[in-house]
Amino acid sequence: MKRNNNKHQKGIEKEKFALGVDLGGTNIRIALVSGD
């Protein structure tokens, strides 16, 4: 959750995004992280 890991998280977000579609809640959470 550190800003330094923002670039590394971007790659993880893509994978989480796929799961977010299934979970639904994660999808929104990723959107907030990206906006941050």
Q: What is the pLDDT of residues 5-35, one digit of tens each?
A: 556 566 666 665 555 555 555 566 666 666 5
Which residues are within 8 A (CB) of 13 and not within 5 positions of it... i.e. 6 or more apart?
A: 30, 33, 34
- Residue 2 has what pLDDT? 53
Q: Where would I find the beta strands (DSSP E) of the chain? A: none
**N- to C-terminal Cα distance for the chain?**
10
CA 27 to chain centre: 7
What global pTM score does this model have? Answer: 0.17
